[in-house]
Structure 1
Amino acid sequence: MFLRFWNSFLKNDNKISMTKNLIFQDDFSNKFWRVSVENSTLTVIYGRIGTAGRSDSKEFPSNLEAEKEANKLIAEKLKKGYEEDNNINFSEADFWNIIERAKKSSEGDYEYQADLLTELLQSRPISEIIEFDNIFSELHRKSYRSDWWGAAYLINGGCSDDGFDYFRAWVISRGQKAYYEAWKNPESLLKYINEDNIGECYAETLMYSASIAYEQKTDKDDFHDKTYSLPLPEIVFDWQEDDDSLQIKFPKLFKKCKDLGF
């Protein structure tokens, strides 16, 4: 699928939000390059069209210096033969970039990360806030799996239906790498638990960041009329609460949770 991006430019109250999307296509290349500025942070995402690409971010002393550097980079790319791509929209790569930025600034506080996420989304066009929530919902829905529920049960010392919703939001809050590693093997989540968060790996408020940003930006309460949701997949549990099936399924995760008191 063609990797989608967005173009936007916003200045108010000394805040800067801008994005420029370029592509380079010939007989040998099929590349995208995107630069975005959020206040004094400049981020470049680049790679082959159809992939998430690589991302580099840099902080500048001021918003103006970040904007000047972005314009300089754009001019350099245009001279090399890149062209503007205006027929693109918000992508999963954009979604993870925003998640990572909020995570980096939150210092491990999930509530604060959700607040930062709301702030970042408020600076985006309404269509992107809606698409962010759609991407979140799809990632969240696809992770409704028996093995993830088993991992949640170990990590949090039990897991209700609602708790499993909040746990999957927590995995998303850890970022793209954590999510897709857990997609392959939920036992990989042992890297993200410690004595401070064991038993409390929930991120409920992250589930509402987009709707809050939308309501604050529009003063409307029709957000859920504009987003979509699909039914959850069927689950066939391959573990039991009252036997050693989880210990057998996730030996390393089981050991770490036990060592941490669970």
Structure 2
Amino acid sequence: MRTDEFWALIDEARTGADGDSGAIMERLVALLAARDVTEIEGFDQHLWRVLAASYRADLWGAAYLINGGCSDDGFEYFRCWLLLQGRATFAQAVKDPDSLAGLPAIRQAAVTGAEFEAGEVLHLARNAYRKATASEMPEQEHAAYPKLDEFWDFDDEESARRQLPRLAALFVEPPAE
């Protein structure tokens, strides 16, 4: 599956879902299940390539601030949620994680404490394959994640302010005067 097709499917699933991750995922399963099995497998391969490309320490730091902490699984699920926000939002966040501070849902989370995860995205292709064929999708090799060397202390508020100033303004207490 080509990049444009992958994101077009996500955009189609987003239509009318009003940002509801569960509704987007249900729609994606239905859209995928209506396709040829090679396309379902291709979607899964592309999904893992996109997740590998977004496996970055600065984005992990953003997820950590936004969700009030973030394990390695939590970071995976956060990137899955981010993927459901569409291509432009995803690409901008990978390029500049601090740009997430401009999303209304993120700004709202600074007040409500909402967290953003959608780990079920990891199973979309398998669920669609099962729905389409009544059998399990064959195991596939997934894209390898890069090694992350440039971590900063996500709990250090001063580091957070330096690395992600806009997000830190939302999620980190102001320094004591």
Assess same fold via TM > 0.5: yes
Does the Cα contact within 8 Å between 1:118 and 1:212 map onto a contact in 2?
yes
- The 2-side partners of 1:247 and 1:123 are apart by 46
User: What is the Cα deviation at residue 115 of structure 1?
Assistant: 0.8
Q: Does residue 169 in structure 1 map to residue 84 in structure 2?
A: no
The TM-score with structure 1 as length reference comes to 0.60
Q: Deviations over 1:61-111 (max 9, x none)?
A: xxxxxxxxxxxxxxxxxxxxxxxxxxxxx3110110111111222111111
Does the Cα contact within 8 Å between 1:113 and 1:206 map onto a contact in 2?
no
What residue ranges of structure 2 are gaps of 5+ in the alignment?
A: none
Q: Larger helix proportion, structure 1 or 2?
A: 2
User: What is the Cα deviation at residue 145 of structure 1?
Assistant: 0.9
Does the Cα contact within 8 Å between 1:111 and 1:206 map onto a contact in 2?
no
| 2:142 aligned partner | 229
Residues 228 and 143 of structure 1, relative CA distance in 2, 3 Å threshold: same
- The 2-side partners of 1:148 and 1:140 are apart by 12
Does the Cα contact within 8 Å between 2:65 and 2:154 map onto a contact in 1?
no
| 1:245 aligned partner | 159
Percent sequence identity over aligned pairs: 35
Q: Larger strand proportion, structure 1 or 2?
A: 1
| 2:11 aligned partner | 100
Aligned length: 168
User: What is the Cα deviation at residue 237 of structure 1?
Assistant: 3.4
Q: Does residue 155 in structure 1 map to residue 155 in structure 2?
A: no
- The 2-side partners of 1:143 and 1:198 are apart by 24
User: What is the Cα deviation at residue 199 of structure 1?
Assistant: 3.6
Q: Secondary structure at 2:161's aligned position in 1?
A: helix
User: What is the Cα deviation at residue 201 of structure 1?
Assistant: 0.9
What residue ranges of structure 1 are gaps of 5+ in the alignment?
A: 1-89
1:217 counterpart (125, 132, 157): 132
- Max Rg structure: 1
Q: Does residue 204 in structure 1 map to residue 115 in structure 2?
A: no
Does the Cα contact within 8 Å between 1:198 and 1:257 map onto a contact in 2?
no
Q: C-alpha root-mean-square deviation of aligned residues, in Å?
A: 1.7
- The 2-side partners of 1:178 and 1:224 are apart by 31
| 1:29 aligned partner | none
- The 2-side partners of 1:148 and 1:107 are apart by 25
**Which stretch shifts more, 193-202 or 237-246?**
193-202
- The 2-side partners of 1:224 and 1:184 are apart by 33
Q: Secondary structure at 1:174's aligned position in 2?
A: coil
Q: Within 5 A, what are the aligned runs for 1:86-125?
A: 90-125=1-36
Residues 92 and 198 of structure 1, relative CA distance in 2, 3 Å threshold: farther
Higher relative contact order (CA 8 A, sep 6+): 2
User: What is the Cα deviation at residue 224 of structure 1?
Assistant: 4.2
| 1:128 aligned partner | 39
- The 1-side partners of 2:162 and 2:132 are apart by 49
- The 2-side partners of 1:203 and 1:191 are apart by 20
- The 1-side partners of 2:160 and 2:75 are apart by 16
| 2:94 aligned partner | 183
- The 2-side partners of 1:120 and 1:191 are apart by 30
